[in-house]
Structure 1
């Protein structure tokens, strides 16, 4: 397993089911311990809540839905986006910048091809580029590692449906270096040809005004107020469109 990869992670986007089976059925516990080792010096029970990561890891959609609606989960700082301030090893008042995507729920759900969990996290307001609500240090990312969620989705050979979702939710398509994907010499990058084609076509044309308006409205509201879309004085089809319920 590559350094910095979560337990059971498939190198180069291999078969996630096989890797998950290798974890002996204790994916949730192992993942939480790994997250603690990476980002928390406190006892396990005092670390940032990782139940969202666990659910994304095993593709547990019902648990993911319950967590996103659970007040106690939100009250203790748990978020669909990573926040390193809660788990920094450095004794500092400043936020520690994100230097890897492997701790992000979106990355985890994509790496294990859990499309419905991936979609639900985006609907809940997860940042489609970095899945982080703190500072980002792309220069600090390991060489050859994905530099954004779209890059990770492509590198892990995810289906085109993942690409469509990130496009719809406003991902910055210019963050991905296509040439690095097409001319990878390590053999670890297994890009889905259809997904790559969808990405290239999307980057070659401007988003529609309708799509841009939806992205803007959701960003202005912020993830903590997306539930207010239900009470907006607009027709139900527009509410459904803003909530990505029928897209």
Structure 2
């Protein structure tokens, strides 16, 4: 998330007609903005007392920089929970977006602050943006391996199959960056195991990274080993010869899924992602519930 500053305005002649008064980069005559304020600095550094003092002195909670960065963006990027809470209580916009489309929620995923994220989500933060080209908080958490952030987003209604055109699915992102726990959480929530980026599947991504753990989890949740990528190659053809991942795929091809596994996959597909979280409250034997939940 950009934090670039602009050059400080030079001194203006007192005799220029209609001169706009500048104060901390804010064009007060137009109610506009230009650069970081003391409130941004306090939020970024986690100085709660200073932040409260500035708010009491009249600094606007939603004051923004030239890049549309708000104090809440700064507090989330630095993971300062108390400052995030104070700004929200003062009326900060939890869905404010920078010129690059980054929201405070996205910044939480960039910093790995699940506590800040929970505060935002409890106060109306949207799990996904309305613009497909804007950064995705879920993808950012999967890219960086912040599994708690992934869990929090999904528990608040984030779509596990949410995709970004140039990035693919969140599952593909977690496989690309070797974050097995994030992949497991997404799959447990019902993410489609074979949806990646274009013809490249999550299994292709995991195998290219020679991640046997990732590949194993994907296979457990129904990954198709016969899918071909844009170069018409199957996953087994991409695995380093003789490695653990290559051996795993070869073994799987000669010993396919059992009927028990196939039944579980089919039942989970019929139930659907939106209802999988209701499994524990269904009148089912605990053995069957655990079987369907992979626990």
TM superposition score category, shorter chain reference? 0.5 to 0.7
Q: Which has the higher contact order (CA 8 A, sep 6+)?
A: 1
- The answer for the alignment partner of 2:177 in structure 1 is 112
CA contact (8 A) 1:80 1:121 kept: yes
2:205 counterpart of 1:174: no
Cα displacement (A) at 1:66: 0.8
TM-score normalised by the chain length of structure 1 = 0.59
Distance in 2 (CA, whole Å) between partners of 1:105 and 1:229 is 23
1:164-243 pair list within 5 angstroms: 164-176=216-228, 177-178=234-235, 180-181=237-238, 193-243=243-293
Distance in 2 (CA, whole Å) between partners of 1:59 and 1:80 is 15
Distance in 2 (CA, whole Å) between partners of 1:32 and 1:119 is 28
- The answer for the alignment partner of 2:16 in structure 1 is none
CA contact (8 A) 1:115 1:162 kept: yes
Task: Pick one of 49, 52, 58 that aligns with 2:144.
Answer: 58
2:235 counterpart of 1:149: no
Distance in 2 (CA, whole Å) between partners of 1:55 and 1:192 is 32
CA contact (8 A) 2:190 2:273 kept: yes
When residues 238 and 153 of structure 1 are mapped into structure 2, their CA distance, relative to the original with a 3 A threshold, is same
Larger radius of gyration: 2
CA contact (8 A) 2:225 2:235 kept: no
CA contact (8 A) 1:32 1:50 kept: no
Cα displacement (A) at 1:231: 2.5
* Displaced runs of 4 or more, over 6 A: none
Cα displacement (A) at 1:57: 1.1
CA contact (8 A) 2:203 2:235 kept: no
When residues 232 and 205 of structure 1 are mapped into structure 2, their CA distance, relative to the original with a 3 A threshold, is same
Name the SS for the 1:127 alignment partner: coil
Distance in 1 (CA, whole Å) between partners of 2:236 and 2:196 is 24
- The answer for the alignment partner of 2:131 in structure 1 is 47
CA contact (8 A) 1:57 1:108 kept: yes
CA contact (8 A) 2:162 2:169 kept: yes
